A = this chain, B = another copy of it.
Amino acid sequence: MEEEGATTVSSRVLAQRVGTTAAQVRKDLSLFGTFGTRGLGYEVRSLRERLREILGLAQEWPIALIGAGRIGSALFEYPNLRRRGFEIVTILDRDPRKIGRSWDGVRIRSIDEVGEVIERLRIKVALVAVPASEAQGVVDRLVGCGIRGILNLAPARLRVPDGVTVNEVDLALELEVISYALGARGTVPGEIRQDVTSDP
């Protein structure tokens, strides 16, 4: 909206943009303090700044990418991570054939350098894109080196100590959300169907 030249915005318009209600927008924002002026709405620029602070985006986050395979490569190329404040500053792998190569100027290093690199570059967040069987071992090492936030793309459930945040992207689960939605529209048999129609 700032790029579009807007200086103020109402909760109603914000709600339309994100697919919720004006009341929900006001309630959500109120959790973080006082925003906007009754009848005048929100000042776009200051709202944007406050939201960036709340989301922890007032700073840039240097990111370690663990795993230089296909998924790692796709993550590295993923558009607009940098624009949104996340920059992959190091890539770590255990494959000697990959170590020493560079992607767009970022050198792939040995996972054995993880402690040194994370400390030197003050990295707190890692993207994990290793095979599922290796994920827990990699994560234990990362946590031991001071990593506090992990986005996991390996299809493995991870255990981390308190104080470490893990977020998982499981693409099969995301597809199940869709197959469930399609199934609920008529291809599911018997008992279920009675729950979603008014037909006795």
Contacts and interface: CB of A to CB of B under 8 A. Distances in A.
Interface in A101-156: 124-125, 127, 131-132, 148-151, 155
A187 B125 CA distance: 14
Contact of A165 (B71, B79, B182): B182
A176 B57 contact: yes
Nearest to A70: B74
Bin the interface of chain A by size: 35 or more
Contact of A175 (B70, B125, B155, B181): B125
A195 interface: yes
A132 to B, nearest CB: 6
Given A191-B33, A192-B32, A175 B74 contact: no
Most-contacted residue by chain B among A73, A131, A172 (CB, 10 A): A172
Given A70-B74, A169-B171, A169-B174, A56 B179 contact: yes
A95 interface: no
A55 B167 contact: no
Interface stretch (A8-16, A38-46, A81-89): A81-89
B176 A53 contact: no
Contacts of A191: 32-34
Contacts of A165: 177-178, 181-182
Contacts of A179: 55-57, 61, 85-86, 125, 149
A182 B75 CA distance: 21
A1 interface: no
Contact of A131 (B32, B79, B127, B132): B79
Contact of A192 (B33, B78, B177, B187): B33
A47 to B, nearest CB: 14
Given A70-B70, A71-B74, A77-B70, A151 B180 contact: no
12 contacts: A33-B195, A53-B183, A54-B180, A54-B183, A56-B184, A56-B187, A61-B179, A70-B73, A80-B155, A125-B182, A127-B175, A169-B174
